[in-house]
Structure 1
Amino acid sequence: MSEDRTRVVSDYVESVFRRGREPMEPVGFTPDWEDQPSRHKTYLGVRRFPLPPGVGRPLAPTADVVLKEPPPGPGPLWTAGSLASLLRLSCGVLDRRLRVNWNQDSHVRVLYPEALWGRGSASGGGMYPLEVYWVAGPSGPLTPGVYHYATAHHAFERLVAGDLTAEVRDACAGAGSADGFLLVTVRFWKNAFKYNSFCYHVVTQDAGALLGCWELIARATGRRLPRVLWFDDERLNRLLGLVTDEESVLAVVPLPFGPPGADPEPSAAAAGSAGRGGPAGRPIFERSARTRTFEQVRQVHRAVLDDRRPRPDPAVARRLVPLPRENGGEVELPRPLAGRLDTDLGEVLRGRRTSFGSFVGSRPLGLDELATVLAGTASAQRYTADAVPEDAGLTGLYVLANRVAGLPAGSYRYDAGGRRLQVVRQEPIAGTLQRSYYLSNYNLEQVGAVLAISGRWRSTLEAFGSRGYRVLNAEVGALSQTAYTVAAALGVGCGVVLGFDNIAIDEAVGLDGGDERTFLFVLLGHERTDRADYDYRLA
């Protein structure tokens, strides 16, 4: 039975990779933009607890976060102020985006109902389908209970009172011993209304981007944030009162506000709520008059949840690291430009944005700039998780160099340990990039370089089962978020895209026919200076 579920996931991933040539079902789907969901989930009739502003607190320079060794341990206990910063600088609303660019929605974003709100963490298509819940224990700054982070209000909405942290610890099978937890969920309709069956691939990478952003912020405060990716999904969904096919937990992050102790007995109110399935029946605001589910999304999600094999030994992940290439020549890279990454990480996240159509080829990307982004991005392969050891990144990085000063055009594999590029082939690449990209929001001929994030997906499914797809995509998303952050600190334009023909890019970087495939793509280059923008910071 586990093999059948893994086959469902494998078939879905293969359809994602081939969607540039064979459209995913439903063919011809068109989003109903007049009936799109709200970007912000809001519970009705609940009490809200405003959080501290979350901005203005000093954080470490970006160079210290991405180029130096991470803190050796979990670091200081969390406080209300540090939690507010973690949430505000990642998924909270920071500004309104009004820059004129090549995206097809520029003309409607000036209208308030179509406003685009900037956040520190990236999200595919700007949909932001993730929700954050805090299961608070007795050491936290609020009464123990279950809270929802309302991004529109930068406040916690209390859904149920009582200490339910023991329920989370049990659902995580001993992987988290803290007295509080952040639970990351995905509300599928917030993404699927645009991306339909492609949704599951996008949202699992979104979860990785958020986790990667949290890891950056935690490091900037001298902390680490472990992530738990192996847990009883249905048990946690019941705790939050979720309908699994509509919204489901993707990750759990232990968040200690006090020293861990013996599991407390839940209060009578909390125990009753847990028995009924948590805060069920809490009404929410739904902007869409009609919502729907997509069969492929439901099938792959159920295949992951129904694959109940135990958490593997983390050492298994060391066998899944992308294999080195046969030597075809090497290019030594200069040292990273640490001096240009001296900006406070919080300010960098507030300024992070996407370079839609703004790249200009008249100023090539510097080889030292490329080396800096690569070194910083690779730092996201080191994280603390229940299923992956910190010394075993599941992803690889490839470079498709188009306009990089001092580097012949072509494709390369990045060797982080040796700080070098391994040559795959050196040849003009602009035409391949342009033909392989099937959207109209970028001119690929003007891009300096494209980073392709890869992973050994079949081996990961064989070793981890169906859940391995989510584990791998989480790391892919974290790398993309870190690349965005480093590029923003460096002053280099950046855009993360999924709109490439994966098969064509695999061929370009020499991965055709193998286990390793490209998953996500990062565009880098310098931007035009005459762009129109408006500073609309909200915090």
Structure 2
Amino acid sequence: MDLETFLHHLHFDTDKSAPPDWQVDWEDAPLPYKLYRGLPEISLSADVPLTLKQREAHAKPALEELGHFLWYVYGLTHYAQTAFTEENGEKAAVSYTQLVRRFVPSGGALYPNELYVYIKLEDVPAGIYHYDVAHHRLLLLREGNHDFYLSRSLGNSYDLSDCFCTVFVSTVFWKNFYKYNNFSYRLQGLDAGVLIGQALEAANQMGFSSRVCYQFLDRSINHLLGLAEQDESVYAIIPLSTKQSINSVYKDNHSDDIVSDTELTQEVPMLIHETYNRSKRVIDYPLLRKMNEESLLDTTNSFVKIRNNDRVKADFGMEAIMLPFTGHFAYDFASICRERHSPDMDFIMRKVSQTQLSTLLKETFSLSYQNDLNDTYGNAENHVTLYGSFYNVEGIPNGAYAYDKGAHALRRITHGDFREFLQYGLTMPTVNLFQVPLVLHLVGDKDHFKKELGYRGYRIQQMEAGILLQRLLLVASALEMGGHPLLGFNANQSDELYGITAKDKTSLIQVPVGPYRPRAWLKGGLLS
């Protein structure tokens, strides 16, 4: 299968993303976290605060703070047991499922990503560490100061001298391929984006400045971390600083200061560490490996900037319904993280007020983050927009709408109740959309930035959608509503509803949002 067909199947013909005889070997499933053996360890404090507060100005960051940051971003937060009733004739059997969860959602709760950190703190040796979520500790992979190496891997575009920590978000391909086969590639980008979104929120709460780097010399970074790229590869890098911002240095890609991964990887020795993932039989995933290989950057001359005028802006040209003005919406980030979950059959139909809807959209799209796709502050919504089907919303006629962020208005596409239409578009009806007032779709370009970024553009688009998705879920939870991210929907159908096919745009993810009843489950926290 060629890669264009592969990407088409991921979005528009998902049944072809796995062989028709695909069987999941549940007994041989990998662990949802990576384990290293025999490495020096540094324990992180289990005394995690219930509220994250802005740090004092000019105070030096400490290991304890970093531990709190990592736990809120990707730590194991609670153990949940849910009961399911299965009816068989006159008898009903109750079965249970147990999951160890985190604050971020993940497809199938499989968490295919891993976190690594390059630390420069006074109370720990400088070096590259793996965040061992199973034990809430750091494992030392490579000691030493690697500013010069890392800066060149990022194209010498940033001043990393003031960064006390650099976070690496990787994807372990097998961790969800074992269940979803090739469809896992779409999930991996979105999961990485959701994780990045959570990291940005936590950093902002703690007073750290951050920048998301999507472009770097992949083999150099994987070599620095000791990753075998056929098994695992870094998707994004996030430097953290206590300064107001992380300075960007303009570089002309056609200058003589071009760096290649070949010269960099020769500067540091190869790492060989023992790991454990529990699976005894790992099936090959040639299409995922091929996509990863085609996405790699081997020279800094390949780095690009996407200017706003390079992309076609949304042409609404439709009747507008202006949303009411709402002031700044403050919420306790840590508390919302603890409360947030993804309802399925728990949604209940209640009227949503215009103020709730206005706050949800305004606060979601107020997200602003520094990245290397733009020269200055870039907004996730520059490349991802929002459409929705609304039912039982105060003052909003039932119908399909596009959100115009610039005017803070809804642009009406068509009237009607489309709950049944969307319900029958679900490939797995795990959510009752008849009970959901807001069915939202994050929408992006069909070409996935291929012109500018090649096949790497696909995973970047998925990550940007994931960043915005996490912001949406947090704001919805703060408004006492729930959101359930869905990829099991008919993208052709939703694109037809919004009339965006001719505009070369497509729905990336579907998110039902609305009030819900408390779920019946046994849940316990893992840290006090």
- The alpha-carbon deviation at position 151 of structure 1 amounts to 0.6
Equivalent position to 2:192, from 204, 207, 210? 207
SS at match of 1:473: helix
SS at match of 1:284: strand
Letter in 2 for 1:79: A
Distance 1:217 1:350 in 2: 13
SS at match of 1:404: coil
In structure 2, the CA distance between the partners of 1:76 and 1:509, relative to structure 1 (3 Å rule), is farther
- The alpha-carbon deviation at position 377 of structure 1 amounts to 1.8
- The alpha-carbon deviation at position 385 of structure 1 amounts to 0.6
Residue 254, structure 1, aligned to residue 239, structure 2? yes
Distance 2:143 2:266 in 1: 9
Letter in 2 for 1:23: K
SS at match of 1:297: helix
- The alpha-carbon deviation at position 490 of structure 1 amounts to 1.4
Equivalent position to 1:372, from 359, 380, 383? 359
Give the corresponding residue for 2:52: 59
In structure 2, the CA distance between the partners of 1:126 and 1:535, relative to structure 1 (3 Å rule), is closer
For normalisation by structure 1, the TM-score amounts to: 0.85
Higher RCO, Cα 8 Å, sep 6+: 1
Distance 2:525 2:234 in 1: 31
Residue 36, structure 1, aligned to residue 29, structure 2? yes
Give the corresponding residue for 1:19: 13
Give the corresponding residue for 1:98: 81
Q: CA-to-partner distance for each residue in 1:473-530, whole Å, 9 max, x for gaps?
A: 111000111111111111102111111111111111111233211101211011135x
Residue 192, structure 1, aligned to residue 185, structure 2? no
SS at match of 1:453: strand
Matched-pair contact (CA < 8 Å) for 1:102–1:357:
no
- The alpha-carbon deviation at position 221 of structure 1 amounts to 2.3
Distance 1:321 1:55 in 2: 45
In structure 2, the CA distance between the partners of 1:107 and 1:507, relative to structure 1 (3 Å rule), is same
Matched-pair contact (CA < 8 Å) for 1:322–1:396:
no
Distance 2:335 2:448 in 1: 39
In structure 2, the CA distance between the partners of 1:459 and 1:301, relative to structure 1 (3 Å rule), is closer
Gaps in structure 1 of 5+ consecutive residues: 1-6, 62-70, 110-114, 262-270
Give the corresponding residue for 1:383: 369
- The alpha-carbon deviation at position 40 of structure 1 amounts to 1.5
Output aligned runs, 1:69-148, within 5 Å: 78-100=61-83, 107-109=95-97, 115-137=98-120, 139-148=121-130
Matched-pair contact (CA < 8 Å) for 2:189–2:459:
yes
For normalisation by structure 2, the TM-score amounts to: 0.87
Equivalent position to 2:296, from 305, 323, 327? 305
Q: CA-to-partner distance for each residue in 1:124-175, whole Å, 9 max, x for gaps?
A: 22111111111224x4531012210001111101122222332222211113
In structure 2, the CA distance between the partners of 1:483 and 1:29, relative to structure 1 (3 Å rule), is same
Matched-pair contact (CA < 8 Å) for 2:31–2:175:
yes
- The alpha-carbon deviation at position 107 of structure 1 amounts to 3.0
Distance 2:299 2:13 in 1: 29
Give the corresponding residue for 2:387: 398
Gaps in structure 2 of 5+ consecutive residues: 88-93, 248-263
Residue 334, structure 1, aligned to residue 324, structure 2? yes
Matched-pair contact (CA < 8 Å) for 2:218–2:298:
no
Distance 1:293 1:403 in 2: 48
Give the corresponding residue for 2:253: none
Q: Of Structure 1 and Structure 2, which has the larger fraction of its residues in strand? A: 2
- The alpha-carbon deviation at position 19 of structure 1 amounts to 2.2
SS at match of 2:76: coil
- The alpha-carbon deviation at position 245 of structure 1 amounts to 1.3
Give the corresponding residue for 1:471: 460
SS at match of 1:458: coil
- The alpha-carbon deviation at position 28 of structure 1 amounts to 3.0
In structure 2, the CA distance between the partners of 1:474 and 1:36, relative to structure 1 (3 Å rule), is same
Q: How big is the alpha-carbon RMSD for the aligned residues of Structure 1 and Structure 2? A: 3.0
Residue 425, structure 1, aligned to residue 414, structure 2? yes
- The alpha-carbon deviation at position 293 of structure 1 amounts to 2.7
Distance 1:459 1:417 in 2: 23
